């Protein structure tokens, strides 16, 4: 039985609207995934400022996957990486990292479409204070294959006899899936906890419509049938083994220990995290957190 979750629209500023599916009031996590934002499709014009200034993270790994557009990632480890559709950027924050996500210079005078998913993985407790790392896996290095009527790109983890080269920190599944008009797929049991996210199109999950921007979640290694309508469908599968205990989220921080969130807030307010080379701006600590730090 799948639990259906509706997202909440959030305005991140500069006209940048996202649909937030996780954390949800009815479900905080799906496997190790603690956060899911769907942004776009959005027409970006030269007049819009959608740059995300430097900001900190702890206790998580960010996963960026684009369907359209491009982003330029910079972080306090010194990495500078352009992100394009189909690739996976994975940044393990561990004990602390700072990064920015901006419009690439060659797109600043152009109009283009931005569309993608931003997810966070909660780290196992033993890795929450590990050294931060960054990795980029281009689209052509990720397994892409056909199963029944579905075109599948395996982004993270192992499934259906394939394995992604992207690093994992606990059993994790993340895949992009496309069904043509009238196509179907019998999904076997893939993960201890499984989420099916409908990006766009027309699809039924076990003969019940799954509307765009809805997340269906099941526990206990469920099998399922996906059937696309006349518009076809694009979906994402997320899941894996549940985390080793509850996780607490505060702003951009994740931890198994609430007191660690307060320390991270105080450290960012005092600018003890380090800086992104070449960046002079930063997102200040929200006032509500400053009062609690």
Predicted pLDDT of residue 291: 77
Predicted pLDDT of residue 150: 98
| In the chain, where the domains are located | 3-240
In tens, the pLDDT along 102-113 reads: 999 999 999 999
Residue 62 has pLDDT above 90, yes or no: yes
In this structure, which CATH number among 3.30.465.10, 3.40.50.300, 3.40.50.2000, 2.60.120.10 belongs to the domain 3-240? 2.60.120.10
CB atoms within 10 A of CB 189: 12
pLDDT band for position 92 (cuts 50, 70, 90): very high
pLDDT band for position 12 (cuts 50, 70, 90): confident
Residue 135 has pLDDT above 90, yes or no: yes
Predicted TM-score of the model (pTM): 0.96
pLDDT band for position 236 (cuts 50, 70, 90): very high
pLDDT band for position 262 (cuts 50, 70, 90): very high
Residues 125-152, mean pLDDT to the nearest whole number: 98
Predicted pLDDT of residue 293: 65
Residue 15 has pLDDT above 80, yes or no: no
Higher pLDDT residue, 112 or 220? 112
pLDDT band for position 14 (cuts 50, 70, 90): low
Both structure tokens of 191: 């993960």
């Amino acid at each position: 039985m799948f639990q259906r979750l509706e997202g909440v629209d959030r305005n991140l500023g500069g006209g940048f609207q996202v649909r937030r599916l996780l954390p949800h009031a009815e479900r905080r996590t799906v496997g190790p995934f603690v956060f899911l934002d769907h942004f776009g499709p959005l027409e970006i014009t030269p007049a819009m400022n959608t740059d995300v200034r430097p900001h900190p993270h702890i206790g998580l790994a960010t996963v960026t996957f684009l369907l359209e557009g491009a982003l330029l990632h910079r972080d306090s480890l010194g990495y500078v990486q352009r992100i394009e559709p189909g690739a996976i950027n994975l940044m393990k924050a561990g004990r602390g990292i700072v990064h920015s996500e901006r419009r690439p210079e060659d797109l600043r005078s152009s109009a283009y479409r931005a569309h993608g998913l931003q997810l966070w993985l909660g780290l196992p407790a033993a890795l929450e204070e590990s050294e931060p790392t960054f990795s980029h896996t281009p689209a052509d290095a990720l397994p892409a294959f056909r199963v029944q009527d579905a075109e599948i790109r395996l982004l993270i983890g192992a499934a259906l006899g394939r394995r992604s080269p992207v690093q994992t920190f606990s059993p994790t599944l993340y895949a992009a899936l496309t069904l043509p008009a009238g196509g179907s797929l019998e999904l076997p049991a893939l993960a201890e906890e499984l989420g099916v996210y409908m990006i766009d199109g027309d699809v039924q999950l076990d003969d019940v419509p799954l509307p765009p921007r809805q997340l269906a979640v099941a526990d206990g290694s469920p099998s399922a049938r996906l059937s696309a309508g006349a518009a076809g469908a694009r979906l994402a599968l997320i899941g894996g083994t549940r985390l080793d205990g509850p996780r607490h989220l505060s702003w951009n921080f994740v931890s198994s220990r609430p007191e660690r969130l307060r320390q991270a807030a105080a450290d960012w307010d005092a600018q003890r995290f380090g800086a992104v080379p070449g960046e002079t701006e930063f997102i200040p600590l929200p006032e509500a957190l400053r009062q609690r730090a």
